[in-house]
């Protein structure tokens, strides 16, 4: 049954990729995984290929030619998921900053409660971040304040990347017009869902910084988010967003 697909973008994640795959696929609810690997030179893609022999039909791999960005990796994964007929499509990091067990909570929020988007939120019940330096916590938190101020979108963690989308959301959003690649990509997707009036709910999670591998964060990603939010608000004023279709 093709119901749940977890999309995990990777670049040089050999220390984490096998463990995260096994952790997701042993969950009681049936999840499939799509790894979108951007030509990792450390052999991440080959590790996934080896595991496909063990997890036939549950583990999928798309290999791209180079480091093309988080946003384009997810867009590629979203399109693949829709073509394959999955109902619930998840975003998740490879480094265990997102607890695989929380996938079940996001899934039940959409499946049982009937929400269109479920966001694993670091800030809906305070600040639930472990092992980040205070400067990064403050920058992330106040980025959310800034996004809410500009967009008026009532989401406490608009930059978060642990999400469940129903297929209706991804079918409605014009994925070819999503332009940003870092934090701004996460904001842009949520902003589109919000403007289409999809039902969105934040679920509290504890975010734990990676212990293995190297962070992909850069100052350019933050700059894109700061300036991108203003651009999003401007173009939203000149586009029409039809109400979300109801299944």
What digits encode the pLDDT tens for the residues 67-84? 888 999 999 999 999 999
Distance from C-alpha of 144 to C-alpha of 214, rounded to nearest angstrom: 24
Higher pLDDT, 158 or 2: 158
| 82-120 pLDDT per residue, tens | 999 999 999 999 999 999 999 999 999 999 999 999 999
Residues of the chain by 3-state class (helix, strand, coil), percent to 5: 40, 15, 45
Are 14 and 40 in contact by the 8 Å Cβ rule? The answer is yes
- The mean pLDDT value for 165-186 works out to 92
Q: How many CA atoms lie within 13 A of 142 on its CB side?
A: 6
Per-residue confidence band for 20, with pLDDT thresholds at 50, 70 and 90: very high
Are 235 and 150 in contact by the 8 Å Cβ rule? The answer is no
Q: Is the pLDDT of residue 247 over 80?
A: no
Least trusted range by pLDDT, from 9-13, 37-41, 147-151, 220-224: 220-224
Least trusted range by pLDDT, from 125-139, 188-202, 218-232: 218-232
Helix, strand or coil for residue 185?
Answer: helix
DSSP bridge partners of 99: none
Distance from C-alpha of 123 to C-alpha of 96, rounded to nearest angstrom: 18
Name which of 197, 137, 185, 179 is nearest 158 in CA terms.
185
Number of Cβ atoms within 10 Å of the Cβ of 219: 7
Element (H, E) at 134: helix 134-151
Per-residue confidence band for 221, with pLDDT thresholds at 50, 70 and 90: low
- The mean pLDDT value for 124-138 works out to 89
Judged on CB neighbours under 10 Å (0-12, 13-18, 19+), 40 is buried
- The mean pLDDT value for 164-171 works out to 97
Question: Which one-letter DSSP state was computed for residue 100?
Answer: T
- Answering whether pTM is above 0.85, one says yes
Percent of the chain clearing pLDDT 90 (strictly above)? 75
Residue in the block written with tokens 């867009």: 75
Least trusted range by pLDDT, from 16-30, 137-151, 210-224: 210-224
Least trusted range by pLDDT, from 19-28, 160-169, 215-224: 215-224
Q: How many CA atoms lie within 13 A of 203 on its CB side?
A: 22
């Amino acid at each position: 049954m093709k119901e749940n697909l977890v999309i995990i973008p990777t670049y040089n994640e050999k220390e984490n990729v096998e463990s995260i795959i096994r952790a997701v696929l042993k969950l009681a609810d049936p999840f499939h995984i799509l790894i979108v690997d951007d030509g990792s030179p450390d052999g991440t893609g080959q590790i996934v290929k080896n595991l496909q022999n063990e997890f036939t039909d549950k583990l999928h791999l798309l290999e791209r030619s180079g480091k093309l960005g988080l946003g384009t990796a997810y867009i590629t994964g979203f399109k693949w998921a829709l073509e394959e007929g999955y109902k619930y499509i998840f975003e998740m990091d490879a480094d265990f900053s997102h607890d695989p067990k929380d996938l079940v909570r996001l899934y039940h929020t959409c499946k049982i409660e009937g929400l269109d988007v479920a966001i694993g939120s670091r800030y809906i019940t305070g600040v639930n971040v472990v092992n980040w330096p205070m400067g990064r916590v403050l920058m992330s938190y106040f980025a959310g304040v800034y996004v809410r101020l500009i967009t008026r979108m009532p989401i406490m963690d608009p930059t978060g990347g642990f999400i469940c989308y129903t297929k209706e959301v991804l079918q409605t959003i014009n994925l070819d017009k999503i332009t940003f690649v870092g934090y701004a990509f996460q904001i842009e997707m949520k902003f589109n869902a919000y403007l289409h009036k999809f039902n969105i709910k934040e679920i509290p999670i504890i975010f734990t910084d990676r212990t293995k591998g190297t962070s992909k964060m850069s100052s350019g990603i933050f700059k894109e988010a700061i300036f991108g939010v203003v651009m999003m608000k401007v173009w939203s004023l000149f586009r029409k967003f039809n109400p979300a279709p109801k299944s």
